[in-house]
Amino acid sequence: MLLTTQFAFVKMRLMLCISSIHGIFASILKKVCFWVDKHEQESFRTGESLIESEKNHAEKTPKEDVTTPTSVNYHFTRKCNYKCGFCFHTAKTSFVMPIEEAKRGLQLLKEAGLEKINFSGGEPFLPERGDFLGEMVRYCKEELQLPSVSIVSNGSMIKERWFKKYGEYLDILAISCDSFDEATNQAIGRTQGQKSHIDNLYKIRGWCQDYKVAFKLNSVINTFNIDEDMTENITQLNPVRWKVFQCLLIDGENAGENSLREAERFVISEEQFQDFLERHSSISCLVPESNEKMRDSYLILDEYMRFLDCREGRKDPSKSILDVGVQEAIQFSGFDEKMFLKRGGKYVWTKADMHLEW
């Protein structure tokens, strides 16, 4: 009887033991299953988020039509002391960006691929008697280290002290001159009072030589100068480049309603333009720019740092690069990179690479 009771007791302990071992195993198994499950879910989720982030990246990655602002014309002022009757960038505002903001915009352009900046206007030497321009020229060459810094000016406000202070930072200075006849310049409005535009041009040519700045010339061919032969003067001045523009009409600037100029009387035909080019074919540095070439082959930035789209024959502004960044603004620039290259927009534009005799 005692033996039977002891046997039953041992059996019960044994069963209890087996049951608790089973419980422990079951709990371990449950834990392992839970861990595997959790891990699988996590790796699935990680995969999901990778796909998601790649999708986001793809959406954010610029499409193929990204435009690089390699060469930009910054018209930072519209004010001018001349009254050229055909002018297509007129004094519609007197706004000039504070210099620190202008520098911020220039830095954004540099980060987006800017290589050449050309300062234009209006007359760029007007604000702060050229010191505003000088500081931007210095900033672009010394701090941003742009390969090419250039200016286009009517030349009337330039003093030798400017060359002394800022000449070393400037690659190219382009002066506009449409005629070597004083009366024609007066008739066009390319003058201030009775001052000689031509004498001033030759003086600046000399300073460019003295202060090692490459000298360039721009001429607008129009009904007032169409019959002129400029060969002798251009040969004497010996510019690195002579840009010859066919006079262009821009609605809202020099044509149509709300424009400050009426340039219709300056307009010439394609044949007349070709005749002028033919007459000057001996000049190797001549770079012709017909209306077709000009319209969409420039990246133009206005006084608010907005790109101007000229494709519709007027200047439609984008938002400012300071507000939306370069890539968003540049989509509204109407810029045609192929035409830019076709018109020879990319050339040797660093003065050190031009191997000039100073």
Ligand X SMILES: C[S@@+](CC[C@H](N)C(=O)[O-])C[C@H]1O[C@@H](n2cnc3c(N)ncnc32)[C@H](O)[C@@H]1O
121 part of the interface to ligand X, by CB under 6 A: yes
Nearer to ligand X, 68 or 81 (CB): 81
Nearer to ligand X, 65 or 271 (CB): 271
As given in the structure block, the two tokens for residue 116 are 């050449």
- Rounded CA-CA distance 182/219 in Å is 15
Residue type, 96: V
Would you give the binding string for ligand X spanning residues 138-177, x where CB under 6 A is met? --------------xxx---------------------x-
123 part of the interface to ligand SF4, by CB under 6 A: yes
Answer for the pair 287, 244: CB distance below 8 angstroms, yes or no: yes
Residue type, 108: L
84 part of the interface to ligand SF4, by CB under 6 A: yes
Q: What is the layout of strands, in order, in the sheet containing 306-309?
A: 286-289, 241-246, 214-221, 172-176, 148-153, 116-120, 71-75, 299-301, 306-309, 316-320
Q: Which of residues 216-275 bind ligand X (CB under 6 A)?
A: 218, 220, 245, 247-248, 254, 263
Answer for the pair 235, 283: CB distance below 8 angstroms, yes or no: yes
- Rounded CA-CA distance 215/227 in Å is 25
Burial-class residue 57 by CB neighbours within 10 Å (0-12, 13-18, 19+): exposed
Would you give the binding string for ligand SF4 spanning residues 43-82, x where CB under 6 A is met? -------------------------------------x-x
Task: Please report how close the Cβ of residue 55 comes to ligand X at its closest, in angstroms.
Answer: 46
Task: Please report how close the Cβ of residue 345 comes to ligand SF4 at its closest, in angstroms.
Answer: 20
87 part of the interface to ligand SF4, by CB under 6 A: yes
Task: Please report how close the Cβ of residue 245 comes to ligand X at its closest, in angstroms.
Answer: 4
Q: Which does 218 bind (CB under 5 to 8 A by kind): ligand SF4, ligand X, none?
A: ligand X
Q: How many amino acids of this chain bind ligand SF4 (CB under 6 A)?
A: 10
Q: How many whole angstroms from its chain centre is CA 192?
A: 31
154 part of the interface to ligand SF4, by CB under 6 A: yes
Contacts (Cβ under 8 Å, ≥6 apart) of 356: 212, 214, 240
DSSP 247: P
Is residue 33 flagged as an active site residue? no
Nearer to ligand SF4, 153 or 320 (CB): 153
Three-class secondary structure of residue 306 per DSSP = strand
Taking Cα atoms as reference points, which of 227, 225, 248, 229 lies closest to residue 310? Answer: 248
> Which residue's structure tokens are 């980060």?
111
- Rounded CA-CA distance 277/107 in Å is 39
Q: Which stretch binds ligand SF4 (CB under 6 A): 3-11, 97-105, 118-126, 295-303?
A: 118-126
Q: Which does 120 bind (CB under 5 to 8 A by kind): ligand SF4, ligand X, none?
A: ligand X
87 part of the interface to ligand X, by CB under 6 A: yes
299 part of the interface to ligand X, by CB under 6 A: no
Q: Which does 254 bind (CB under 5 to 8 A by kind): ligand SF4, ligand X, none?
A: ligand X
Answer for the pair 254, 86: CB distance below 8 angstroms, yes or no: yes
Is residue 17 flagged as an active site residue? no
Contacts (Cβ under 8 Å, ≥6 apart) of 196: 182
Is residue 208 flagged as an active site residue? no
Instruction: List residues binding ligand SF4 (CB under 6 A).
Output: 80, 82-84, 87, 89, 121-123, 154
In the complex, the residues that contact ligand X under the rule CB under 6 A are: 80, 86-89, 120-121, 123, 152-154, 176, 218, 220, 245, 247-248, 254, 263
Q: Which residues are catalytic?
A: 80, 84, 87
